[in-house]
Structure 1
């Protein structure tokens, strides 16, 4: 069986620290204060659903709450009226949580399959049964027990129903924190049994501070990252780790020539995506090409956008000058999203898929130009 620290963590962004190792939280003061107000007022709910776009600090908030509660903050009045969830990094609870050795904490996430040597695609019912077993144990010295489910969107049907049973009859002095990117995907009965904490996308200043706190130096790419990630520090970290800003600028450079794309440049991009060794490049190219289509649709619809650079600004204005163009780009975006997902699932040739995608983009650009 693989060692726990040798396998990938599904709740960690490549190139960034795990949320349990991220002590500072930026841009989510309102959500933090809402939890502290409930705790200080004796209204500690047993289950909280932490929602908002992916990568904005929801998991970091969940781990901050867990540290706070397990260090004694779950007991009304023990800390007086604390203004933050901050716990000293050298606190015994903080050290044990960092090492995944805190007996009062259980983490439910997608597990590792030793047979396939891959992470499972869902949180299974066995993962939630393990959570139930954890709650059935006696808490040490009558203390709190905290569970983090990250991400609740990844529960399969059986796991969701098993979690619902726990939420319906929660043990005393337990706290369940559900990190949730898309609440609509959860059972309504789960949502109704949780109190919501809504996190917001980060402003550009908080995004920069969060990247610095994570040990990431965006340098001159920070404005472009801020434009592309729309307040998600997790997405900014992904873009930095994958060279995403340079790749996106390359895609924009090609789209700026539409209609009449440079087929040699498109073919070169497709070849860079070919082969198992370039699977990540293929995934990133697909993701950023679809992002460009989405931004075209939004620009034509009049949605204010921060542009990556002047070239992107001119491309958006020229190719999507109207509501009609916006609708056409939105339709193409949906069509290509489904088509590329299918192609990925059945292992169609990446180079051909990239070429076909850009040819369809060129066709739509010619329609807009006419």
Structure 2
């Protein structure tokens, strides 16, 4: 299969690609930190963009890349008559660099991401060393024009060991006028030597207002209560988009309603829920169901540990239910153990295609046993 027809590994299903998203919501502090480094001549050669999934790390990387490739001049502090430094990363979408980046034809940009597998018929599971070595050709070919070069790594978590070591060598001896932007969802999993050579930019979860604006920019109608959506998505736009697409807010409300009868077991209601996600074509909603059950258990454990339910009630009656089932730290530890146990079983069951109805019912029964003491 031609590589050009493979799906883009760094594009979330149902959402625009980060290079198509011009504005970033809720990450003003990270943007300001980068602009300050740029304006004061402290522009590091490598930056690691960290934070939860779906909060805009890739969007910020593309914004920084557009900015750098359209601001080639080097600022010198104290230079009399020098123009004031830019106050924003915004770039006119009509700028030639912006148009070329949108088309993936900008010669000053290299995008390191997963490529095709050995057969070329689908994407590889990780970023391989051959993809990193292509950067060497990029540096040699782009050096002639003397301009700035930018590398986006999306995502560094996906580098296999050989690729990680190859990237490390480039971080240790960076080419002149090159800035590398590494997107990392779990930086602790990366080589310490890679982390040590990068300046960190941490992005934060989005609040309800920023979440609503980000979804609107992506062409997604959040509907309902933006605060509930932001709570269930933990401030992640990517997670919120998935919840909207799969009607996840209503699904979580059904989970809470099912749990309200605990320690009694409403088998008929549990069976209806299980059968709804067991149908052909419901794989995504089935996966979401188990993610939301895990979220419910996490919220239970947190309630017991803190002595109070979360500030935002994510479904009708949730706060009272959490307080009843997790009244103290002892129950919190118990619910945390159950969360780990049922989560592991669900991941295994989904991976090996266990009967989904049985998997859902077994999960609910395990929760019932814990609720009954």
Band the TM-score falls in, shorter-chain normalisation: over 0.9
In structure 2, what is the equivalent of residue 320 of structure 1?
326
* Pairwise CA distance, 1:74: 6.0
In the alignment, what sits opposite 1:308?
A: 314
5 Å-filtered alignment, 1:1-370, equals 1-2=1-2, 4=4, 6-73=5-72, 75-76=74-75, 80-113=84-117, 115=119, 117-139=121-143, 141-274=145-278, 277-302=281-306, 304-367=310-373
Give the CA deviation at 1:3: 5.6
Deviations 1:166-207 (A, max 9, x none): 111111111110011111001000001111111111122211
CA distance 1:143–1:240, change in 2 (3 Å)? same
CA contact (8 A) 1:151 1:181 kept: yes
RMSD, matched Cα: 1.9
- 2:79 alignment counterpart: none
Q: What CA distance in whole angstroms lies between the structure 2 residues aligned with 1:3 and 1:121? A: 15
1:139 aligned counterpart, secondary structure: helix
**1:79, CA displacement in angstroms?**
6.5
Counterpart CA distance in 2 for 1:230 and 1:275 is 28
Distance 1:94 1:79 in 2: 22
Q: Is the 8 A contact 2:155 2:185 kept in 1?
A: yes
Gaps of 5+ in 2: 77-81
Aligned partners of 2:218, 2:83: CA distance in 1, in Å? 28
Question: What is the number of equivalent residue pairs in this alignment?
Answer: 366
CA 1:79–1:138 in structure 2 vs 1: closer, same or farther (change >3 Å)?
A: farther
User: Given that residues 56 and 234 in structure 1 are in contact (C-alpha distance below 8 angstroms), is that contact kept between their aligned partners in structure 2?
Assistant: yes
Question: SS where residue 14 of structure 1 aligns?
Answer: coil
C-alpha deviation, 1:276, in angstroms: 5.4
CA distance in 2, matches of 1:118, 1:282: 24
C-alpha displacement of 1:88? 0.4
Structure 1 segments of 4+ aligned residues over 6 angstroms from their partners: none
Structure 2 contact 253–316 (Cα < 8 Å) conserved: no
CA contact (8 A) 2:72 2:148 kept: no
> Does the CA-based 8 Å contact 1:2-1:114 persist in structure 2?
no
Contact 1:14 1:237 in 2 (8 A): no
Q: CA deviation at 1:278?
A: 2.4
Contact 1:299 1:320 in 2 (8 A): yes
Structure 2 Cα separation of the partners of residues 74 and 350 of structure 1: 58
